[in-house]
Amino acid sequence: MARWRAGVGAVLCLLVACGQGVSRGPPAAGPAGTVDGGTGDSGVRPPDAGTGSDGGTFPDAGSPDPTICTESAPDDVCGSLAPPLGAKVTHQFLERLDGGPGENVFCGMGRASPASSTGVLLHPVQVQGSPPSFAFVDRDGQDIGTFGQFAPDTYELDVVAQDTGFGILDRSVSGTGSDGLILVDDHGVDRGGPEPRQGSSVAPLPGGGVALFWFQDGSTTDCPAHALVRKYGDDGQASLPDWTALGCYPQSEATAIAGNSSGNVLLLVASASPGENGWDAFWLDSDLRLVARVFPPELTSEPADQEVAIAALLDGSFVLRFGGQWKYRVQPGTTMLEAAPCWLTSRPVTDLIPIRDGAAYAAIHRGSEECGRAVEVLTPEGRTCGYSTLDGTSGPCDMAVGRDGTLSKSPDAVVSATGEPRACVLEFWPSALGASGF
């Protein structure tokens, strides 16, 4: 999922990915960093010591696990899992400035946008004082559609790639925009569907569905908000006639959800107010019906206001990340948590995406100051095939991996004189990592 904060004060951008081959060899141990893991424990041979400021396994902030687990995969395995990425494609989104006071163009800087299964990407741009908009870009870098039905004071857009098209959660300060989930096809045509589609957060699901989470105001001391969840498909329709009710909770955005290829879905909701501790866990089916509510004791001590994420591993189990650190692993349908695999705890603050039709992972190191240390290819056992080489790309790299394996980078701005066209530039590598198998 990509999150874009639009022009009211702060601006965020969509998810990206860079690459042009793979830098082999085990990463050196350097300062703490970010990376999602894989599926199952790998070996525990520690890497050689590193000294660089961005030297290897830990490109961003954080503290590495005391035992650093990094083991290189065999060359023949990596030859098929991490071949050269192919030619980079560049797309430009032009806007003409009129020279008004304080005028600026926002290019979605900071986060990259994932592609749909058909290889279509969204390229965000916003001129200050105007609503945000998206260009729809195909694998060849050609414009095939646009969408911009947002209020000028929209402050955040969360984007989820589907098999075809996208789910966009729109929030505006005044509520005069769509202020809810928008489902569009690969050419920016609204898929409609039943209303209301209000929501607090969205997440992708296996098979292209979108999970929409909503804290509906409860307006009482005993029930500040009703926690609800619902699935919408590629056709814009809800999978069930009613929302799945989860109970009463403090109203916040402290949630995380992920599903595996077998149809098991795990949802976490903060059960306590910010500044307190406690999380609840729910097992849901593929249509997001409630299967069981569980209370692993480890979750009662986790602060309710920290960042949380869930990733489904290739063996069907799930791993949980709290405050940037991968901590726990849980098998589908069970209530017992175990420690996350060492190769994963050694790579904090990372996102983990299946690639090569489920034969490998792309670990996205968030906050990497070098594009050459942003995307690491891992085997299902967590052995490394090194980092993807992103020729001709520099600067801080936020990357995204699309459902078709497209690697995309967060857009950058090309500054020009007042009154002249200014370009927002998107770089991507079509289908470079193979279909996600998600």
Per-residue pLDDT of the chain in tens (438 residues, 90 and over written 9): 887 766 543 332 232 223 333 443 333 333 333 223 333 332 222 233 332 323 333 333 333 434 568 899 999 999 999 999 999 999 988 776 655 555 677 787 567 889 999 999 999 887 777 788 899 999 999 999 999 888 777 778 889 999 999 999 887 665 544 458 899 999 999 987 656 688 888 999 987 789 999 988 877 778 888 999 999 998 889 999 999 999 999 877 679 999 998 999 999 999 988 889 999 999 999 999 999 999 899 999 999 989 999 999 999 999 999 999 999 999 999 999 999 999 999 999 999 999 999 999 999 998 777 888 899 999 999 999 999 988 777 666 889 999 999 999 988 877 666 656 677 889 999 999 999 866
Tokens coding 232: 């919408």
- Closest CA relative to residue 147, chosen from 186, 202, 193, 106: 186
Per DSSP, 180 falls in state: S
CA distances from 14 to 4, 125, 190 (A): 6, 10, 20
- Closest CA relative to residue 335, chosen from 282, 287, 290: 282
Write down the pLDDT at residue 19.
30
Tokens coding 423: 């370009």
Read off φ and ψ for residue 410, nearest 5 degrees: -60, 140
- Closest CA relative to residue 72, chosen from 48, 52, 89: 48
Question: What is the fold of 2-429?
Answer: Methylamine Dehydrogenase; Chain H (2.130.10)
Burial class (CB in 10 A: 0-12, 13-18, 19+), 67: exposed
Question: How many other β-carbons are positioned within 10 Å of the β-carbon of residue 102?
Answer: 6
Cα–Cα distance measured from residue 313 to residue 44, given in angstroms and rounded to the nearest whole number: 19
Where are the chain's structural domains? 2-429
CA distances from 156 to 9, 159, 248, 359 (A): 11, 10, 25, 34
Write down the pLDDT at residue 351.
94
Q: State the DSSP H helix or E strand holding residue 170, giving kind and residue range, or none if neither.
A: strand 166-172
3-state SS assignment for residue 18: coil
E strands within 177-236? 181-184, 201-204, 210-217, 225-232
